[in-house]
């Protein structure tokens, strides 16, 4: 039984240029103690989906269901949702400088969160805050608890954000690009911290990022998003070594490898506009293995060979996974059979 079960989540924004369909029918589940990585480029809808789950997308039309501990988050009233936010599902944002209030000491911000959700006394809440700061690796927490956000460096601020997120022992922590704004060495520290905390506290972690390297390091399960839908969903090693969806393959071929220095193979073209999506598969215009079926019918998430739960929204044969020669042959054969000419 999943901790969080999202089914056909869709988020759309009306704008003066047309309806922006940021998320179109996204389904996934998160189990307790698991780390789910959601990876996608800008415009893929990954952040929008996370915000919508917690009712944080103002002005948007949200449909679908997100069942958490028996109730559907998407049909909850605001007061009930507020009780969930922070206490059971916590969020860590990308830029701690803008997510922390600049005029209040961080200790106060943490204790406020605690006292807003529980009937904890001021002193007890402060003690808990000191504990949390120590847990996330802030040296001399008792002295630093009354400092202001600007007195901390970027990495420390992110640690404070994580402390705030953990304050009420949430079941799920959603981290939206938690390390993008940080330096490489600090990034490693934060990821390490998240991993350690997750194994110590047993909560589920959803990491949203555009960085495949972060995913390779931290996720158990991965969702690859493209144009508002899940393109591929797989266990970590399956995704990297036995990828099925051409977008995933394309992404992996675009990233400079740690070992070779061969020429990069970028994906031609650009992501589609969320207002004017082409019919059929949204990746078809850029796909090397485009078949005639692809422009007509958008493929649902279909099971593919390999691990349990490995699924890909693609019409290519289910056993064509990875970049091995047989897999390539299978792909080109499928394209040939469909009568389409490969690019």
Residues that bind other proteins (CB under 8 A): 15-17, 20, 41-42, 153-156, 183-189, 191-192, 210-217, 236-237, 240-241, 250-259, 261, 263-268, 270, 272-276
Closer by beta carbon to other proteins, 122 or else 237:
237
Q: Which is nearer to other proteins, 259 or 341 (CB)?
A: 259
Question: How would you classify the pairing of strands 221-226 and 35-39?
Answer: parallel
Choice between 67 and 251, CB closer to other proteins = 251
User: 169 vs 180, which CB is nearer to other proteins?
Assistant: 180
Structural contact between residues 168 and 86, judged by C-beta atoms closer than 8 angstroms: yes
- Nearer Cβ to other proteins (25/278): 278
Q: In angstroms, give the least distance from the CB of 302 to other proteins.
A: 24
Minimum gap (Å) between residue 119 Cβ and other proteins: 37
CB of residue 72 to other proteins, shortest distance in Å? 30
Minimum CB distance to other proteins smaller for 123 or for 276 = 276
Q: Give the contacts of 79 (CB within 8 A, at least 6 positions apart).
A: none
CB of 80 to other proteins, least distance (A): 32
CB contact at 8 A, 89 and 120: no
Give the nearest distance from C-beta 293 to other proteins in angstroms.
24
In angstroms, give the least distance from the CB of 249 to other proteins.
Answer: 11
- 178 Cβ contact partners less than 8 Å away, ≥ 6 residues apart: 92, 93, 94, 158, 161, 162, 190, 194, 207, 209
Q: Determine the longest span between alpha carbons in the chain, in angstroms.
A: 73
Cβ neighbour number for residue 122 with a 10 Å cutoff: 10
């Amino acid at each position: 039984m999943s901790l969080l079960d999202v089914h056909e989540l869709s988020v759309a924004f009306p704008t003066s240029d047309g309806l922006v369909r940021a998320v179109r029918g996204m389904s996934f589940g998160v189990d307790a103690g698991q780390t789910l990585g959601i990876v996608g480029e800008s415009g893929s809808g990954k952040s929008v989906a996370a915000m919508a789950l917690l009712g944080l997308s103002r002005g948007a039309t949200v449909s679908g269901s997100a069942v958490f501990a028996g109730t559907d988050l998407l049909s909850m009233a605001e007061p009930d949702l507020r009780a969930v936010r922070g206490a059971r599902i916590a969020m860590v944002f990308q830029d701690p400088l803008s997510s922390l209030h600049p005029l209040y000491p961080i200790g106060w911000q943490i204790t406020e969160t605690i006292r807003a959700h529980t009937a904890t006394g001021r002193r007890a809440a402060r003690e808990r805050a000191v504990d949390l700061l120590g847990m996330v690796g802030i040296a001399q927490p008792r002295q630093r608890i009354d400092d202001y956000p600007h007195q901390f460096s970027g990495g420390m601020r992110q640690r404070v954000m994580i402390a705030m997120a953990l304050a009420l022992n949430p079941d799920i922590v959603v981290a939206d690009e938690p390390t993008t704004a940080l330096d490489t060495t600090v990034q490693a520290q934060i990821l390490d911290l998240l991993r350690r905390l997750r194994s110590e506290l047993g909560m589920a972690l959803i990491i949203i990022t555009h960085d495949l390297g972060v995913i390779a390091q931290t996720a158990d399960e991965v969702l690859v998003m493209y144009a508002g839908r899940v393109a591929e969903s797989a266990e970590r090693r399956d995704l990297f070594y036995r990828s099925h969806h051409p977008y995933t393959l394309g992404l992996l071929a675009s990233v400079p490898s740690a070992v070779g220095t061969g020429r990069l193979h970028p994906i031609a073209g650009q992501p589609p506009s969320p207002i004017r999506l082409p019919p059929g598969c949204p990746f078809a215009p850029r796909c090397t293995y485009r078949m005639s079926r692809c422009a007509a019918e958008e493929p649902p998430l279909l099971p593919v060979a390999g691990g349990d739960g490995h699924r890909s929204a693609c019409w290519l044969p289910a056993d064509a996974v990875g970049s091995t020669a047989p897999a390539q042959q299978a792909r080109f054969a499928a394209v040939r059979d469909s009568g389409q000419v490969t690019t």
